[in-house]
Structure 1
Amino acid sequence: MGNKIFSILLGLAFVGSAQATDITERLSVPEGFSIKPYALNVDNARQLALSDTGIVYAGSRQAGKLHALIDADKDGQAERQVLIAKGLNLPSGIAFKDGDLYVAEVERIVRFKDIDNKLDKAEMEVVFDQLPDKRHHGWKFIRFSPQGDLIIPVGVPCNVCAEDPEFGLLYSLDLKSKKATTIARGVRNSVGFDYHPRTGNLWFSDNGRDMMGDDIPPCEINVITEDGQHFGFPYFHGGTIADPEFGKGKNISDYVQPALNLDAHVAPLGIHFYTGEQFPAKYKNQLFVAEHGSWNRSKKAGYRVMVASIEGDKVTGYTPFITGFMENEQTYGRPVAMVQMPDGSLLVSDDYANAIYRVQYNKK
């Protein structure tokens, strides 16, 4: 497996950037909330992870970088950025467990042991290298299950193509035995999932296929209630829309229906069940969804953070939470993923503005 020591670049991230300040000032949150920069100039910030000591880690996609963000004085803004690694293969997904930081590249999972104490001498080791090497939908979001397995998605290497046993899956990986169990099939490209704090079921976002028009098919939010369920791709989109090439002769009842159909092409990425005490009670155990935004519509859609109201495994509402990332067809930012801080505030990454925002509720 071998080790590789990455060079470390230390630097300060200041909140005074005019561009990022302007973006933050454009963003709107519900009454009683505020949104401010947590860190700026975080190149291509994607999934976030929080260590036990309060260091926030950020993956990236095309930038190939891994950052650490340090708020030493606990004022809600990171004063220091550390570039831990560069030259990685689409390291979008990261997860922290037992002092170690796990990073998903396209074809493998790597680990930085005791990362909080080794920022200046970060040492990488490969822990699993049996993933497909296709870069199309090859970037990943990862998360540990309550049982300690690492959940890994494998998106399909296409817009739409015939079902392949290597792709369109969610895996549960036992890191000790290296045994991978398929927990969901028929998943086009999931870049976000979280466990419901009460039911324990895994919810995940899925990006719908392209080239069927502006308004179909919908993107999806799904929930796994049994391991191995099939969620329809490439045969059905949004649960009931038959694919013109692959849907013929297939039966809708053979596949799991989405928990929620979103607008077409909004590209839901990170999702997060809020479990903190800072936000008003109506947000407790509700699902935050980062709609990254369309690239393939005649008029843009998405570019916002939403809240799905959940009762059990049913969605009862879907309302905006952060808006202003896009206005009059002009893109200012694209939300990606969230992490909840110990005080109950919420961090939101933005890979377009290279920023991470902190949302807090200002109690009266």
Structure 2
Amino acid sequence: MRTHFSASPWWYIPLVTSFALGTLSCSTKEDKKDGAVLPDEDNAELKLPDGFGALKVADSIGTARHLVVNKNGDVLVKLNRPKDGKGIVILSDKDQDGRADSQTGFGDYGGTGITLKGNYLYASSNTSVFRYTLNADELPENTNVPDTIVHGLIDRRQHNSKSIVLDENENIYVNIGAYSNACQERDRTKDSPGMYPCTILDSAGGIWKFKANAMKQSYGEGTRYATGLRNVVGLDWNKQDNSLYVMQHGRDNLHDLFPELYDTEASAELPAETLYKVKEGDDAGWPYVYYDQKQGKKILSPEYGGDGKKEAEEGKGKDAIDPLVAFPAHMAPNDLLFYTGSMFPEKYKNGAFVAFHGSWNRAPEEQEGFMVAFVPFQAGKPSGEWEVFANGFAGTGPVMSPGDAKHRPCGLAQGPDGSLYVSDDANGTIYRIIYSGK
């Protein structure tokens, strides 16, 4: 794979990384000790660092988006589209071999967001956030009558998933993606200017904060916590520094809309997918700027007078926050998880895992992503270069279009033992990654 990056910041490296991927020497079922969870003999076809193994918890469950794991090891998965009338799947492992042997479900709505906090399960559709009371086994009760926490959020099909996370003070944060690529008067249309100011930002293109214990809140009861974020599917609350972190999907169509400024290669490699730490009132700059990982700076969008080199201007992204990490373009970061478990080696403690769903718009180049990356953190800041952690989801051979990928990572969750769960919304596979240290 070709790379053409130069003068990059310390925290940016191209997709071809020097990180060595290895495989775990796997045991067979005959070697299994009572109570042990063993990886699949082929590591579920994944490439992992030495000492790690993987197994498939379940397969073909539906369009699996985000997921959570309760204290008993039950996996609750939000489906983008309900399957057999169920939008949330519960996978249970009664014989404790790591693989689901029971599957039930509830909730007749699709969507992406799901999270556990205290005595409640929260889940989102593309317009609402619901809450379910948990029983002593951390499974939802009264599944037919959830509380409605938030309703009436924008769903105009584009960037409509409502990812959610809670802080430590009973607040819930909801992504409301922009129903636009770059806030043009006519979306994704050549020669259509960008709207200034971008009126979409009044109700989308940012993170909204609501109270987690109040009912039927709408925009008026919430607060626009951060703006200038085109679309955030992956977000997490970092307990180490008590802050919200988000992964933004970068814009598309630079060559299609401005062929005089960007060739197909530049359009495939720009702009960066970006990791931000966001505080209340922050602005990440969309649609006025994008982040160029090659130049290491914010660049004025061509819809607002940019030429691929001009930097942000006053009123057009000059005061926008900078990303903490810039990843290659168009890889679609769909989840973010700060690891707090004790199973993995010390280097992973408090670090960030990112699930990359994979690109659709890098033609004529190969599509990229379809993997889980890792960013080491110390004291709430990246402490080294990002690296590929789990690869091989897409299968063998080049991926020229998303349909060529066998699996596409979407959600991340940490199990009570510290194992890492990964969902796939292409074939409905749930993976579990474990560490043996052998």
TM-score > 0.5 by shorter chain? yes
**Matches of 1:176 and 1:288, distance apart in 2:** 29
Partner of 2:65: 46
Q: 1:202-242 CA deviation, whole Å, 9 max, x = no partner?
A: 11100001101111111111111x31100010011115122
Pick which of 36-45 and 62-71 moved more: 62-71
Change (3 A) 1:191 1:118: closer
For residues 230 and 332 of structure 1, what CA distance do their matches in structure 2 show? 37
- 212-221 or 285-294, larger mean C-alpha shift: 212-221
Q: Is the 8 A contact 2:240 2:380 kept in 1?
A: no
Q: Which runs of 5+ in 2 are unaligned?
A: 1-39, 184-194, 255-266, 292-296, 307-311
Q: Which has the greater radius of gyration?
A: 2
Q: Does 1:79 align with 2:109?
A: no
Q: Does 1:286 align with 2:344?
A: no
Deviation string, structure 1 residues 18-74 (Cα, Å, up to 9, x no partner): xxx899642111110001001212201110123344322101214472111112233
Aligned positions, number? 341
Change over 3 Å in CA distance of 1:141–1:24 after alignment to 2: farther
In the TM superposition, what is the alpha-carbon distance from 1:287 to its structure 2 partner?
0.5
Matches within 5 A, 1:91-110: 91-110=111-130
In the alignment, which of 121, 134, 159 is matched to residue 181 of structure 2? 159
SS in 2 for 1:47: strand
Deviation digits for residues 222-275 of structure 1, max 9, x if unmatched? 111x31100010011115122111366734531101111111101111011111
Q: Aligned partner of 1:182: which letter?
A: R
Encode CA deviations 1:170-214: one digit per residue, 9 max, x unaligned: 112113444322221100000111122322221110000110111
1:75-154 equivalences in 2 (<5 Å): 75-86=97-108, 88=109, 90-114=110-134, 122-154=144-176
Residue 82 of structure 1 contacts residue 119 of structure 1 at CA under 8 Å; is this kept in 2? no
- Give 1:120 deviation, angstroms: 8.7
Query: Which shows bigger deviation, 120-129 or 285-294?
Result: 120-129
Tell me if the contact between 1:236 and 1:247 (Cα under 8 Å) persists in the aligned partners: no
Which of residues 277, 285, 290 in structure 2 aligns to 1:232? 285
Percent of counterpart pairs with the same letter?
30
Does residue 230 of structure 2 align to residue 188 of structure 1?
Answer: yes
Corresponding residue for residue 385 of structure 2: 317
Contact conserved, 2:166 with 2:237, CA < 8 A, in 1? Answer: no
What is the DSSP-based 3-state SS (H/G/I as helix, E as strand, rest coil) of the residue aligned with 2:318?
helix
How far does residue 286 in structure 1 lie from its aligned partner after superposition? 0.7
Structure 1 gaps of 5+ residues are 1-20
Contact 2:350/2:378 (CA < 8 Å) preserved in 1?
no
Change (3 A) 1:71 1:127: same
Q: Do the aligned residues in 2 keep the contact of 1:272 with 1:289 (CA within 8 Å)?
A: yes
The normalised TM-score by structure 2 is: 0.73
Residues 1:360 and 2:360 are matched in the alignment: no
Aligned to 2:419: 345
In the alignment, what sits opposite 2:259?
A: none
Note closer, same or farther for the CA distance 1:282–1:102 as it changes in structure 2 (3 Å cut): same
Secondary structure, in 3 states, of the residue corresponding to 2:347? helix
Relative to the length of structure 1, the TM-score reads 0.87
- State the alpha-carbon separation in 1 of the partners of residues 325 and 55 from structure 2: 30
Indicate the residue corresponding to 2:303 in structure 1.
245
- Cα distance in 2 for partners of 1:125, 1:346 equals 29
| Correspondences of 1:187-266 after superposition (within 5 Å) | 187-212=229-254, 213-224=267-278, 226-238=279-291, 240-246=298-304, 250-251=313-314, 252-266=317-331
Cα gap change, 1:52/1:169 in structure 2, threshold over 3 Å: closer, same or farther?
same
Counterpart in the other structure of 1:14: none
